[in-house]
Amino acid sequence: MGLISGVLTLPLAPVRGVVWVADQLARTADRELHDPSVIRARLAALNEEYEAGHLGTEAFEREEQQLLDLLYGC
Question: Does residue 30 lie within any of the structural domains?
Answer: yes
Enumerate residues 6+ apart whose C-beta is below 8 A from 33: 70
Question: Is 13 a domain residue?
Answer: no
Question: Is residue 10 situated within a structural domain?
Answer: no
Are 38 and 24 spatial neighbours (Cβ–Cβ below 8 Å)? Answer: no
pLDDT digits (tens, 9 = 90+) for 47-66: 999 999 999 999 999 999 99
74 falls in which pLDDT band (50, 70, 90)?
low
Distance linking the first and last C-alpha atoms of the chain: 46
Predicted confidence at residue 1, as pLDDT, reads 59
Total domains present in the chain? 1
Contacts of 63 (CB under 8 A, 6+ apart): 46, 55
29, amino acid identity: A
Condensed to tens digits (0 to 9), the pLDDT of residues 13-46 reads 788 888 889 999 999 988 877 889 989 999 999 9
How far apart are the C-alpha atoms of 23 and 44, rounded to whole Å?
30
Provide the whole-model pTM: 0.60
